[in-house]
Structure 1
């Protein structure tokens, strides 16, 4: 048996917040990157001759999607249909009602999980019997512990696979909370998790883990992204990661910088074989002249003129730009800065605002200007509370 576990493809992700000076060629690549990764996933499924494809939530970035995206999805799933490859698809918190919206009919090989836990069955050409249990989100916030509704594996199936879009937590948490022990008690052979964009393993045998996104969606989602190709060996399902993202986000931290020329040379020494969007963070102490050139964007412009075509410098930031707020407090600035940046870099307005909110409100707070406004407000709040 062989199948692919993918999740969090986020077709239609707008990639808001990139610099307006981004060249048109790169801009088009970014805008098409999730779709490009999805098409490559389908091609890999066919070339690997898998038995079926599992997508554990957030195929789309939103509940409603453009006719162009729907057409592309239909075409790609039809390619799998012609190759006799089944698709098992659930929807997550981003696309929770996508199946209830007006859309093209699914090809006959596509099996969509409804908004309550259900089990679907597949018999392979080898005669092996596969059970797949999953669900699609009922609302944008799935606070119920859906794991309790999953049945225990029975002896009538050779392999039982769980599709679960959620996060470790307790009852009342917003994303289908679960814990590893609860999954282990179901006796499944594999848990294909979605929702967390970072690829990670929660348990070895049976495997419980997140495949992560196919394509990094912002500068915090660094490194290669892709899917798991899962094969059976001695009746154990073993995943192997395959990178597929057309664009890589990376971060370069410079702790020692003598002057502007040194800074530029250090960045130019960064080697990348794929198209890479690089964020450069400077933690070194800089003189006033270089700080002024960085603040004005002069150094960034100069650097972009010198970098190769496959490398785009997203931004140049210095540690002191973010916070000197608590310099006199007994808080390690390094950890404070990392925590502060993490909170606001991962902020997604769609997780906190009703679907009925105007699009321009969402777009503003997902952009750099909106995030900066929130950062400033938080800084003011912290400053006002300092003793």
Structure 2
């Protein structure tokens, strides 16, 4: 048995805030979610997989564009010609009532209804595969859905499809079909195909419990490689191999600015750093400053002039192998000198304040909005807040001296 596990395609993602760029780059960015899924379909055909699982959020919004739907249908038709079935469920972004087979989709696409149900597939070697899942009928599903999944019975392989998040034991946060790992394992399934979290990760090895992440990162907090998992049987066990497909990768690059560096030499350094990257990347430069950097350079960095000149330089060359979209100024300040007691208070306070629960509590009702909740769930946000707080403390100490 061989199949592909993907999720969170987010076709037609708007990529907000990235409109100030050459048309050629914007077109590449806008098409990236489509290209990533097309590559997955290419792989399915080339690998001759038995089926594909798509675990929620095929579209970026519940009211998606006709372009996105037409593209998805055409890709499914490509799979139909190769007799590759597709099993899909809708998630919290593309939630909808599912009452019967959707007319626009070809017959090889099997859509899970709004209640947990099981679909059975017989492979060419007569092995049977039972696939259990459900689709979101509304944006939030606060109830535990796993309790409704049957335990494994007579099928050779039992797979669970679950678009959800690990329970935080907090009703104000558990909005997306909350579950716990132990309750998944109790079902004795051979594979749990998860969706919703945009970073690929294996939560459990035996049996495999896997988040494939989204095939294309949509913003700077979704950096690194993105793709899908190719799952294959080996005797009575399954193995999962991550396969990157994202046409665009978001990344951050540290650049240290020395006191004698001119604006032109800084731009040349940034150009060199960008050109050294493999594959097309959207790059945010973290420029580390020291007090010795001259005032004019600091002003040009702060008001965006250097970023604009960097972008203009690339536009003049017309060879878009990468694109700088952000330039962050990081001052080389340190925390004020502390006594042992002060350090103890800072460490304890930082632990209490800079954690996801505290940040979500601070945002109060804003956390109820899906797109904000997604950002708050990113661990890198907490680390960034802690870093910025330490920078402010360091600045305060410097000013007093």
TM-score range, shorter chain: 0.7 to 0.9
User: Which of these residues, 285, 291, 295, is aligned with residue 290 of structure 2?
Assistant: 285
Q: Deviations over 1:72-92 (max 9, x none)?
A: 111110111110000000111
C-alpha distance in 2, partners of 1:244/1:100? 33
Query: 2:328 maps to which residue?
Result: 317
Query: 2:6 maps to which residue?
Result: 6
Aligned length: 353
Q: Which residues in structure 2 correspond to 1:70-85 (within 5 Å)?
A: 70-85=69-84
Query: 1:229 maps to which residue?
Result: 230
Classify the secondary structure of the residue corresponding to 1:35. Answer: helix
Query: 2:150 maps to which residue?
Result: 151
Say if 1:335 and 1:31 are closer, same or farther in 2 by CA, change over 3 A. farther
Say if 1:335 and 1:245 are closer, same or farther in 2 by CA, change over 3 A. farther
Q: Which residues in structure 2 correspond to 1:1-387 (within 5 Å)?
A: 1-18=1-18, 20-97=19-96, 99=98, 104-154=103-153, 156-169=154-167, 170=169, 172=171, 173-255=174-256, 257-258=258-259, 259=261, 260-261=263-264, 263-270=266-273, 271-286=276-291, 287=293, 288-307=295-314, 309-319=320-330, 331=346, 352-353=368-369
Say if 1:102 and 1:68 are closer, same or farther in 2 by CA, change over 3 A. farther
C-alpha distance in 1, partners of 2:65/2:337? 49
Between 92-101 and 206-215, report the one with greater CA deviation: 92-101
The offset of 1:253, in angstroms, is 2.4
Say if 1:221 and 1:24 are closer, same or farther in 2 by CA, change over 3 A. same
C-alpha distance in 1, partners of 2:107/2:11? 21
The offset of 1:130, in angstroms, is 0.1
Query: 1:359 maps to which residue?
Result: none
C-alpha distance in 2, partners of 1:263/1:339? 36
C-alpha distance in 1, partners of 2:119/2:248? 35
Say if 1:192 and 1:71 are closer, same or farther in 2 by CA, change over 3 A. same
| CA contact 2:302–2:329 (8 Å) conserved in 1 | no
| CA-based RMSD | 3.6
Classify the secondary structure of the residue corresponding to 1:250. Answer: strand
C-alpha distance in 1, partners of 2:14/2:367? 15
Structure 1 gaps of 5+ residues are 356-361, 366-374, 383-387
Classify the secondary structure of the residue corresponding to 2:37. Answer: helix
Asked which structure has the greater CA Rg, the reply is 2
The offset of 1:302, in angstroms, is 2.2
C-alpha distance in 2, partners of 1:136/1:350? 25
Classify the secondary structure of the residue corresponding to 1:269. Answer: helix
| CA contact 2:98–2:135 (8 Å) conserved in 1 | no
The offset of 1:250, in angstroms, is 0.7
| CA contact 2:101–2:110 (8 Å) conserved in 1 | no
C-alpha distance in 2, partners of 1:242/1:229? 7
TM-score (norm 2): 0.79
Structure 2 gaps of 5+ residues are 376-384, 393-401
The list of structure 1 runs, each at least 4 consecutive aligned residues, that deviate by more than 6 angstroms after superposition, is 100-103, 326-330, 332-340
C-alpha distance in 2, partners of 1:248/1:337? 31
| CA contact 2:97–2:137 (8 Å) conserved in 1 | no
C-alpha distance in 2, partners of 1:253/1:291? 17
| CA contact 1:254–1:284 (8 Å) conserved in 2 | no
| CA contact 1:71–1:104 (8 Å) conserved in 2 | no
C-alpha distance in 1, partners of 2:97/2:320? 37
The offset of 1:262, in angstroms, is 5.3
Say if 1:257 and 1:136 are closer, same or farther in 2 by CA, change over 3 A. farther
